[in-house]
Amino acid sequence: MRTATFQRTTKETDIAITVNLDGTGDYSVSTGIGFLDHMVEQLSRHSLIDIAMAVKGDLHIDQHHTVEDSALALGEAVAKALGDKRGIARYGEAHAPMDETLTRCVIDISGRPYCVWKSGFSQPRLGEMDTELFPHWFASFAQTAGITLHLETLYGENNHHIAESSYKALARALRQAVAIDPRKGDAIPSTKGVL
């Protein structure tokens, strides 16, 4: 099974994460930020990646370190579980509608981290979460997961829907990209022979 456990401890956060890429979408998420918990739960459920995440952060300062470090740690765990990436589909794309909102996500598990974010919010907070931290979460996840990530909200008005459709689109794209393609056997999906 493609699983990984990752621990990240700094003076700002203490994070323990376990992932199972071949799971069923089971999750246990506690970051101290309710809206972020809800988004990572959506990521787990719709990607079918089991995620156990426990985060203790310096929320008495602000949310930045907790949001950033949780994304960095989750990306590290996913990369670790992928190993040398033999047999994976590598690419994934999804559109996630949520009522009036439609978001598109396209990813390449390339080993070349890059994030293009084309979305935005009309209010500064969702629940208690600062909306300016969402693009930072996606960029941090892409960085340590080693993926090229393009995410764009094509249209939408409701801020909750914009955020949630972004995580659901990433989830569905990840589900495709990490899947084992039986036609590839155990080959690395690159002409270079390494990702």
Render pLDDT for 62-110 as a digit per residue (tens, 0 to 9).
Answer: 999 999 999 999 999 999 999 999 999 999 999 999 999 999 999 999 9
Rounded to whole angstroms, the Cα distance separating 41 from 167 reads: 9
Rounded to whole angstroms, the Cα distance separating 110 from 37 reads: 27
Render pLDDT for 135-163 as a digit per residue (tens, 0 to 9).
Answer: 999 999 999 999 999 999 999 999 999 99
Give me the amino acid identity at 39. Answer: M
Residue 1 has pLDDT above 90, yes or no: no
Rounded to whole angstroms, the Cα distance separating 29 from 53 reads: 5
pLDDT, residue 79, reads 98
The answer to whether the CB of 137 falls within 8 A of the CB of 68 is: yes
pLDDT, residue 104, reads 98
Percent pLDDT > 90 in the chain is: 97
The three-class DSSP label of residue 34 is helix
Query: What stretches of the chain adopt beta strand conformation (E)?
Result: 3-9, 13-20, 27-30, 50-57, 91-98, 101-108, 114-118, 125-126, 129-130, 148-155
The answer to whether the CB of 95 falls within 8 A of the CB of 104 is: yes
Strand partners, 29: 53
Helices 64-82 and 34-47, packing angle to 10 deg: 20
**Can you read off the two tokens belonging to residue 107?**
């990813």
pTM: 0.97
Q: What does the DSSP assignment read for 126-180?
A: ETTEEGGGHHHHHHHHHHHHT-EEEEEEEE---HHHHHHHHHHHHHHHHHHHHSB
Based on DSSP, count helices (H) and strands (E) in the chain, helices before strands: 4, 10
